[in-house]
Structure 1
């Protein structure tokens, strides 16, 4: 026979992007809730952030792309993943002028 006990659990219900201040909620799927990025860690011994200091940030998907896009490795789940990856790469390299592209020189690409 199973025995149960009561538990109190906290669940994240909202998030504000630390860069652009966009609000995201768990019940609004158009807000980018599932694509947000939250990073949290403690600085280790002799860390540039300070020994034992907590470092954290919450970003919406647009800010992740705008700040880290040049260094992100994106692997699509589709069987034609190589074609999809090549299309993204050409858009990011600026071949599609109306699309976002990473800054020149980012990730060692100075060409």
Structure 2
């Protein structure tokens, strides 16, 4: 028993690392590498996590789904998506306000 303690102490003194469980490899001489920490970038793409609820109008739903494209773009790319969606929604509303065309010809 005392031989194993002295052997462990001798290994520690020569390698600079404490002995681990049997069969386990000792960490590299410089210690374990630190995991890479990504710097915070406020302009990086980040999903907003806003749930989109179907409206029942296919044209409006398609435009609202287009907003999901902004989740994968950096902040400076959001404006193009928002303007496109706004333009499409405005066109859809304008079409709803337009007078419907007569479905038949008046023949007297």
Q: TM-score, length-normalised on structure 2?
A: 0.22
Q: Which structure carries more helix by proportion?
A: 2
Q: TM-score, length-normalised on structure 1?
A: 0.22
